[in-house]
Amino acid sequence: MKWAIAGLVALFFAFLGLQYWAAQNEATPQPVATPRTPALPNKTEPDARAVKASVAVGYPPASEPKATLTPEGEALTEREQRVLEAVEKFKDLRDRDLLLALSNDPLAQDIIADILLVMLEQGYLEANDSFVTRRGFEGFSPLFFALMASENMDAEMLNRFLDLGSRMESNDEWRRVMARQSDLAVLETWYEATGLGPEHHQQLFNEALQAGNMAFVDFILETKGGKFDQLTFSGATAERIKEGVIGNKSLTDESLRDFYERSKPEQRAMLQRNIIALHEQRLKQIDLLLLHAELSDEERLQIERTQATLQADIQRINDFFAAQGG
């Protein structure tokens, strides 16, 4: 794993799913020009009742409810209160400014999909407006970014986006995003709605390797019958990932301390989580390579060595942050 400065600078984007922004050697995405700015609701603050109804189920329960109440007198949970505060804070932002705020503000941590859903339901955003354009792709909609930010979106949340008119597609960008999802009902909805079939299984299989997503592999192999196609990881993407694993370079203690000291105190918990997530994704890729790639005995041995190194590195990195007090 090569730890170039540009790669670590992009961590905050990469593990929210915003890895499209991370390539430092490519053109910066530009806001998409739209004929009009979406009209804001005729109110000064988000509706707590709507937030109560909009926050998706299936997440761990909040520890304690806050004092904020809906008009019916129901207390908002800690998570719902954060969503309410975030919508109020970000409601006037659009395009790149909104995405940067969602990516970097600790208030939005782990609730980006909820925030985007509530902003849609309350009229602050339009379902299929594109935040940015990149290489001609103008499908960076609220649902697209919600999926990028949440690898565990459930069917209920997806259906709420769809009920608001959000569209799904089957192009390369959407395949990369959906390869990160783990809910089988969400994957089934996307697969059927966009007309995918066996002719797409090899590409989808390779995207699952890129994402390090065993659930997506199982979906293609078992649910969609890909096991009968005798799929194996192949092509340029699979080869690049295999070479990256074999040539893995650990993050040095010096580099780790440098990244820590250059980050703001309020960002350090996110920094730790993102560095660990990068290692864990690589370990998931290794699991998939060992199961489904055609490897020589020497390649298998090298990959298993990298696996052991990454596991040790995770412990070392966690120990470092613990010693700093977080």
Domain definitions of the chain by residue range: 32-167
Strands (E), 77-215: 132-133
Placement of tokens 């109804």 in the chain: 53
Q: How far apart are CA 53 and CA 242, in angstroms?
A: 45
pLDDT at 148: 94
Q: How far is CA 268 from CA 86, 239, 257, 261, in A?
A: 20, 34, 11, 9
Q: What is the spatial distance between Cα 208 and Cα 241, in angstroms, rounded to a whole number?
A: 12
- pLDDT at residue 48 in the model: 67
Q: How confident is the model at residue 134, as a pLDDT?
A: 79
What is the structure's pLDDT at 149? 93
Collapsed DSSP state (helix, strand, coil) of residue 99? helix
Q: Helix or strand or coil: residue 137?
A: strand
Count how many residues are written for the chain: 326
Mean pLDDT by 10 residues, the chain (326 residues): 40 40 34 34 57 50 40 79 97 93 91 98 96 83 96 96 97 96 98 97 96 97 94 92 96 96 91 95 98 96 98 98 87
The predicted structure's pLDDT at residue 74: 74
Q: What is the pTM of this model?
A: 0.78
Residue 49, pLDDT score: 61
Residue 22 confidence (pLDDT)? 34
Distance CA 168, CA 6 (A): 31
Q: What pLDDT sits at residue 26?
A: 35
